[in-house]
Amino acid sequence: MRTYSFASWNVNGLRAVLKKDPSFHEIARELDVDILALQETKLQEGQVEIDLPGYTQVWSCAERKGYSGTAVFSREEPISVRHADSLAPFAAEGPAPDLVATAITEGRVCALEFERFWFVDVYTPNAQNELARIDTRMAWDDAYRAFLKSLEEESGKPVVTCGDFNVAHEEIDLKNPKSNRGNAGFSDEERGKFTELLDAGFTDTFRLLHPDEVGAYSWWSYRFNARKNNAGWRIDYFLVSDAVADRVRAAGIRSDIYGSDHCPVTLEIEL
């Protein structure tokens, strides 16, 4: 058994973060983790050159240019890799496979198999204003949950999944729960699906170690000085299979790191 360090960050456009000070490369070196997962890269593979010596790169890009996308940088070479199209069989079992089909083309999943575990990076579809995409979101959540459970069952390995899940689970997870009740990211439907995911056998690692911590957020609107006032939401997570939850050693939120409207979240776990 060894201790692994992980970080997850929605960069909201990787090309922009590469140009900022500190740059993406500097932040990645500071994080110094075994696996770094990104969401919302907003580019196609090969559009930028990422120079992180010692890391293997896995990309999942949206068919639509400049949109969505995920990437994983790992020090260990993965045994196998899967992408969002692996959700298709599970979506087919649900009520709206056509809705998930569109989201599958948006580069939202990088799943890497290692000797001791599966690591899955996800950028969950946003329900959008007035819950315009809530049906797609519900169908996606069902398919994604089934996909994660299938990885556990097929391999006998625990799963570590991280990313922007686009939901604040409980009232403690956002600054203004009452005024946001029913809005995208804090609707009863989205919160219910996240509860279903946890009930299926996954642990929210941050809440495991910090059950009562308030003001712990990973995303802030660019409007109304939200980050300065810490009027944020915790919508970025590390979840692990319940079977290894007792091996979690640290879970953090790096709100000191700028460059995006999200900040990185981190995990240390023995596997």
Could you list the active site residues?
Answer: 123, 164
Distances (CA, A) of 42 to 15, 97, 125, 149, 257: 8, 25, 14, 28, 20
Show Cβ contacts of residue 228 under 8 Å, excluding neighbours closer than 6 positions. Answer: none
- Spatial neighbors of 36 by CB under 8 A, at least 6 apart, are 6, 7, 8, 9, 28, 55, 72, 73, 74
Q: Would you say the C-alpha torsion 129, 130, 136, 142 has a positive or negative sign?
A: positive
Q: Is 50 exposed, middle or buried (0-12, 13-18, 19+ CB in 10 A)?
A: middle
